Amino acid sequence: MSSCQPGLCDPAGGPAWASDAEKAEAEGYPVIARLFRATGDAEAKHAEDEWAVLQSMGATARPVAETPTVGTTAQNLQAAFEGETYEYTVMYPGFLATAQAEGMTDAARIFNLAMRAENVHADNYADVLANLGDAAYLNAAYAVVYRCPVCGEVVTGRPGRCPICGASGESFVMYYTPIRKVTLNASALTTLAKKAALRLIPTVIPGDGAVTGPITYSSSNDKIAKVSADGLLTAGTTAGTAVITCAVTSIYGTVLKATITVNVK
């Protein structure tokens, strides 16, 4: 058995980040919660990779992660920063040296990627800590974060390729909340006289700093009521009902809709 075994590797995945994310949500920091979740998913991937290495070496008992201590979000960020810094400056360099010395190329590759990803994690937490009082900055900078599915790097812009492991940018996992809700300035059941018109105005409640893309309108029956590209709803000369849909597309491609039913009399 190599010296890379439970207690030396990190296949338990470190602290449970979910509780830090929940705390951040409760304290009104949804973008920090997002960063904790993305980073936590990266740690989970590291743990899977390292557990696979251990199993290939004959391990059967998986190490268990310690129960985390949850403080304030500022304290959790500080602890996370210190933990990541320890991992990329001490822990993984040690693992890597041992794996290289023992000719364990798979383990060495995994440790090297994880070490570099932990460095990025630490930098992210340091940035968030330094700007904890600047909600406008945090909401803009961390509106969307991306996680490399291979090495666990977490970044705020989708790269062409992962600078750490070379994975394609398209494969990065997005974490974001683009649009929370869309409503219209008309009742769910709106009655219009024939030929009457109504200007529809959507209210879009965006997610954390993410802006919206195109807004489109459609009618289920143009003869009953039609709606122009800019939201002018006009009843026809035929009585009946039509469903009017306002669709808002986020810049990330997801679509949220508001509908009303128009009853033309």
Which residues make up the interface to Fe ion (CB under 5 A)? 84, 118, 121, 148, 150-151, 153, 162, 164-165, 167
Bridge partners of residue 9, in order along the sequence? 6
**Strands of the sheet with 225-227, listed across from one edge:** 197-199, 232-235, 225-227
**Cα 113 to Cα 45, 76, 171, 201, distances in angstroms:** 11, 24, 17, 50
Considering the complex, state which of residue 37 and residue 121 has its C-beta at the smaller distance from Fe ion. Answer: 121
Considering the complex, state which of residue 50 and residue 153 has its C-beta at the smaller distance from Fe ion. Answer: 153
Considering the complex, state which of residue 123 and residue 245 has its C-beta at the smaller distance from Fe ion. Answer: 123
Considering the complex, state which of residue 150 and residue 244 has its C-beta at the smaller distance from Fe ion. Answer: 150
Least distance in angstroms from the C-beta of 42 to Fe ion: 6
Least distance in angstroms from the C-beta of 176 to Fe ion: 19
Q: What is the DSSP string of 113-142?
A: HHHHHHHHHHHHHHHHHHTTT-HHHHHHHT
Least distance in angstroms from the C-beta of 111 to Fe ion: 13
Residues 6+ apart with CB under 8 A from 51: 11, 59, 62
Main-chain dihedrals φ then ψ at residue 105, nearest 5 degrees: -70, -40
Considering the complex, state which of residue 85 and residue 212 has its C-beta at the smaller distance from Fe ion. Answer: 85
Report CA torsion sign: 36, 42, 46, 47.
positive
Least distance in angstroms from the C-beta of 206 to Fe ion: 29
Closest CA to 179 of 246, 254, 245: 254
Least distance in angstroms from the C-beta of 39 to Fe ion: 6
Q: How many CB atoms lie within 10 A of CB 241?
A: 16
Considering the complex, state which of residue 162 and residue 224 has its C-beta at the smaller distance from Fe ion. Answer: 162
Least distance in angstroms from the C-beta of 103 to Fe ion: 24
**C-alpha span between 18 and 68 (Å, rounded):** 10
Identify the H or E element spanning 54.
helix 30-56
Least distance in angstroms from the C-beta of 244 to Fe ion: 45
The tokens for 208 are 């954390």
Considering the complex, state which of residue 75 and residue 187 has its C-beta at the smaller distance from Fe ion. Answer: 75
